[in-house]
């Protein structure tokens, strides 16, 4: 599934990386616990989370996460957006909660990250 399709399904605003919407996302991980992202991730994943601080971008960069969705209309700060641009990690913001966002993407055929 492309990031463009994901943005459409989630009716999301693209706040960083709007030129990179053609990348393919293989699976998704819904979490707020950063250690879990580091533990269970598979590369090329989408992270769906409720946290918007810069350390979330650093976690994504280190885990090899392709893109991040911030849920519940949370607006990331300028420092987070700047870091995401620098690291080339597109950021989407959706008004849906993590459960609804996960449900809609799963319904559209996106699988979850596998255990590793």
The site for another protein (CB under 8 A) is made up of: 27-36, 38-40, 43, 48-51, 53-56, 58-59, 61-64, 72, 97-100, 102-107, 111-113, 115
- Nearer of residues 16 and 31 to another protein, judged by Cβ: 31
- Nearer of residues 22 and 115 to another protein, judged by Cβ: 115
Provide, rounded to whole angstroms, the least separation between the CB of residue 17 and another protein.
18
- Nearer of residues 75 and 111 to another protein, judged by Cβ: 111
Provide, rounded to whole angstroms, the least separation between the CB of residue 33 and another protein.
4
3-state secondary structure 14-69: EEECHHHCCCECCEEEECCCHHHHHHHCCCCEEEEECCCCHHHHHHHHHHCCCEEE
CB count in 10 Å sphere of residue 88: 14
């Amino acid at each position: 599934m492309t990031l463009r399709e994901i943005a459409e399904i989630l009716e999301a605003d693209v706040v960083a990386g709007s030129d990179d919407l053609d990348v393919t996302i293989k699976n998704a991980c819904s979490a707020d616990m950063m250690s879990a992202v580091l533990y269970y991730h598979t590369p090329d994943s989408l992270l769906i989370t409720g946290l918007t601080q810069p350390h979330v971008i650093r976690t994504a960069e280190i885990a090899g996460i392709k893109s991040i969705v911030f849920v519940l209309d949370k607006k990331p700060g300028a420092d987070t957006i700047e870091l995401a641009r620098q690291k080339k990690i597109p950021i989407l913001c959706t008004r849906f909660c993590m459960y609804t966002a996960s449900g809609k993407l799963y319904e559209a055929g996106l699988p979850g990250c596998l255990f590793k």
